[in-house]
Structures are given as C-alpha cells and as structure tokens.
Amino acid sequence: MTVRPIQSVLIANRGEIAVRILRTLRALGQRGVVVHHAIDANTPAVALADQAIEILGPTPVAAYLDGAQIIAAAKAAGADAVHPGYGFLSENADFARACGAAGLVFVGPRPETIDLMGDKVRARNFVAERGFPVAPSAIEDDDPASFADRARALGVPLLIKPSAGGGGKGMRIVRDITILDEELERGRNEGARYFGDGRLFVERYIEQPRHIEVQVLGDAYGDVVHLFERECSLQRRFQKVVEEAPSPTLSPHERARICAVAAGIAKAAGYLGAGTVEFIYGRDEFYFLEMNTRIQVEHPVTEEITGVDLIAEQLRVAAGEPLGYGQEAIVARGHAIEVRVYAEDAARDFAPTTGPLLVMRPPEGQGVRVDAGVAQGGAITAAFDPMIAKLIVHAETRAEALERADTALTDFIVLGCPTNIGYLRRLLRDPEVRAGAIHTGLIGAKPALAQEPPVADKTRLKLLAAAALSSRPVRDAAETAPAPHAAIGEWRN
C-alpha cells in the first residue's frame, strides 16, 4: 500500500460529528466539504465547511443515506476522501466499496471488515474461533429446527438479538423460560421490521452487566494499538447516556487483559482505522459483544485521556500512513466523562422534544469540551435524533470530573425545548453512580431520577416573576391599569 495524501475530505454526515471532523480538517490544513439536506442549511457544519453541497431525498434521513448522490457530490467537489462519521453510511460496506470504485478514500476499515463485523453471528464466530471470550450462545442459522431447544439449554437469563441488528433495537431479555417461544416470535417480528431480517441469535444474559468497550486503531500494515477502554454502562433502552474513561471498575490487570483482547481481535481482523470492540462485563468475566467499525459518538473521552486526535489518526491511516508509534506511546491521564445532552422530556418517559434553540449557551472552562452540531437560532426537529450536544469533561480524578460535569451542566443553557440536562445532573449525583457501582440496568432501575423534583419556593417565585415580566398579556395588563387605580392597588370599601 502506498501513501496517498488527502487534501480534501467530503463528510457524509451532519450535526456534531460533521463539525468535529471539520475542526480536525481545519487543524490539518485540509479542505472540508459537507453534504446537507435543506433542513440543515442553517447548521454550524454548513457554516464551518469550506464547501457545502445540498443533497435531496424523500426524507432528510434518506438524503444522508443516498450513497450514489453523496459520491457524486464528492467527485463534483474534487474530494479525495469520504469520512462517513457514525450512523448513516458509516458501516455500509457497499458504500465503502462504491467510494473505492469512484477513486475516493473511504475513511474507515476495508469493506470486508465491515461485512464481517456487521454480521453479528459471523463476527462472534470469528472471535470465538480465535480463542477470544464470547458468551455461551445459540445461533438460529446453525440449525433453525433445534434453535429454541439450544436456546433453552443455555438457561435463563437469556438475551435475544436480531442477527442483523445493532444499537439495541429488537433486543429482548428472557428471565422466564416458559415465555421463550413468544419472545423469540416478537424478536423475529421486530428484526424483520427494523432490519428486514428476522434471523435471531440468543446468548447468556449477564445480570447487571457493565458495558466496556476498547478503542483500537490499526494501520494498513497490520499494526494495531488500543487507546484504553471506555465504560458506557449508563444506558437507557440500550442507548448510551453517560460514557467515561477509564472504567471505574477494572483493576489494572483486567484493564490490561481486556485491552489486549480487543487489540488482538482487531489485529486478527486486519483492522484498518479506528474501531471499537465492545464487551459485556460482569462477575469478573467479560465476553465479546460486537465490534463497531467506525468512529463512536463517545470517542472524545478517549481523546481527552490520551491526548490523541482520533479523527486525525483515522485520516492518517486512511491515507496509507503507518501508525508510526507503538502501544507504549499511548498513555492515559486523568478521567474523562461524556454526557449526551438531548432534547427530551425525562419526566414523560424521555419523549423527544422539538423546538427552536432560542438560547444555546454551552459551558466553557478548563477541562470542559462541548461537541455540538446545533447553535442558537437553530432548531431541534423530528427529522433526526434529538441530540443537542455532547458535554465532555476531563479532570485528574473521577470525583473531580463528576464535579466538573455538574458545574458545566449547571452552566449549560438551552432554552426553547425541554432537555435532559436536569436529569443528567441528578443521574451524576446518584450515590451509586458516584461510587462507580453502575450497570446497564441502573438507569431503568431508578425511574425516580427521571421525575423533576418540585422547584424550590424561591426559584419558583423567580420563575413566575420572570415569566410575568416577559409575557405580553401579563405586562400589557400591568401597563394599561388607570393611574390612580394602579397606585391604590387591591382595595374594597
């Protein structure tokens, strides 16, 4: 493989990740081109880009999934490479191939790697065959007739997953073996609906598991390093809410082992670029879960503790440059925490909210980083997921990082739609969260945290005063009272 310098990158994405990639491109002196649906015309990504090309689609999401249109845009803009970000086309092997066919560098792993890791069953077999730990499981494809019996033989609790799935969609936990058949049927229907593929597999479910993942980076020459782990156990319905690095639970020995396993898997797969090996961890055991062949939403916590710009490294290895350093060069320092600020109403079962961002004032300060794809004057719409920003804090210790996150959340001002900021503050103040005693079911087990506590009397008075003084009907009524009457005030004879 030869080095093929990249001068101009088309970003096949939107929102905060597009902005994040543009920042690195700017630092590297490379040209950044974004594609955007009309709905995103007034977003920071479009404003920051050297060039912005509008793409069309029956829905905004469809536009960002239209690989042919995006490749055409990249060619038109004279880009050398396409960075897919996360989501959309990032784990679409056909898109990666199409980029290559069009003479564009796809900033990500080789299409075969995407294919391998995209098929949960194949990926699992690949990992197991090479001696890495996987959870006991039953795969429907192995022998559909005996699937249910093999699943039953694993014993409860069980986790049903769609073979083609990801992101938690269609997953079901079975604790009562008698309802296994019904749950399999439901999982099959959901898989068919979400992924167009009803095939399932079942594995041993670990109660109160932790989600630990390891960031890896491989070059075109077979060298792989890991950038330590991230713990993402605070999840709601399989969606990560808080991510941190390092994990508060791993011993140095466990850390070394899990990171070595991750790097080993990546190396075995001939992994190129940035990737994440996800593990399920519980009772001092860990099993391979899946590998994500893209930059992750939560990559900033790794950047904060290692000082490595992962986007820059993605671009470098994609261009064919060797890593140029070994594992010993990667040193972790301090503790980083990321929280995802969403437009959602925690008290109403986290229903997404929409609205104009009338005021958006992200916090600033030492060890505080905000990756946002929207700005004041923009809007949160139902067209995409309702993420407003990622807040990342970095401090010497976990306790200090939690403290810093709390302060930063307090200073994070978003007005125009309800957000989960208050919820995130309550979550981070939870004693178990503070103690690091977290697991993927913790959020679900603490529904009370979702309820906004009644505002303090003094705060309520301030809110009412502010609302009164800034509401036209209230103010108009005050202004129109005849003079002597207003002066006399409420009085009866």
CB closer to other proteins out of 139 and 159: 159
The set of residues, in sequence order, having a beta carbon less than 8 Å from that of 415 and lying 6+ positions away, is 357, 358, 359, 360
**The two three-digit tokens of residue 370, written as one number:** 């905000």
**Least gap, CB of 61 to other proteins (angstroms):** 9
Which DSSP string do the residues of 20-81 spell out, in sequence order? HHHHHHHHHT-EEEEEE-GGGTTSHHHHHSSEEEE---SSHHHHHT-HHHHHHHHHHHT-SE
CB closer to other proteins out of 310 and 372: 372
Rounded distance between C-alpha atoms, residue 285 and residue 133, angstroms:
9
**Least gap, CB of 24 to other proteins (angstroms):** 29
The set of residues, in sequence order, having a beta carbon less than 8 Å from that of 160 and lying 6+ positions away, is 151, 171, 172, 173, 174, 183, 184, 187, 200, 201, 202
CB closer to other proteins out of 95 and 342: 342
**Least gap, CB of 146 to other proteins (angstroms):** 32
Contact (Cβ atoms closer than 8 angstroms) between residue 177 and residue 152: yes
**Least gap, CB of 58 to other proteins (angstroms):** 10
CB closer to other proteins out of 168 and 320: 168
**Least gap, CB of 380 to other proteins (angstroms):** 9
The set of residues, in sequence order, having a beta carbon less than 8 Å from that of 182 and lying 6+ positions away, is none
**Least gap, CB of 403 to other proteins (angstroms):** 14
**The two three-digit tokens of residue 429, written as one number:** 């103040």
Of residues 67, 84, 59, 64, the one with CA closest to residue 9: 84
Helix (H) or strand (E) holding 338: strand 335-342
**Least gap, CB of 23 to other proteins (angstroms):** 26
CB closer to other proteins out of 251 and 470: 470
**Least gap, CB of 173 to other proteins (angstroms):** 16
CB closer to other proteins out of 108 and 191: 191
Which DSSP string do the residues of 152-187 spell out, in sequence order? HHH-SSEEEEETT--TTTT-EEE--GGGHHHHHHHH
Rounded distance between C-alpha atoms, residue 321 and residue 467, angstroms:
58
At residue 370, the 3 state secondary structure works out as strand
CB closer to other proteins out of 110 and 172: 172
CB closer to other proteins out of 111 and 418: 418
CB closer to other proteins out of 249 and 354: 354
**The two three-digit tokens of residue 309, written as one number:** 């710009």
**Least gap, CB of 209 to other proteins (angstroms):** 20
**Least gap, CB of 479 to other proteins (angstroms):** 6
Q: Which residue has the tokens 């730990």?
A: 133
Helix (H) or strand (E) holding 210: strand 210-218
Q: Are strands 51-54 and 81-83 parallel, antiparallel or unpaired?
A: unpaired
Helix (H) or strand (E) holding 17: helix 15-28
32 φ, ψ (degrees, to nearest 5) = -115, 125
CB closer to other proteins out of 223 and 406: 406
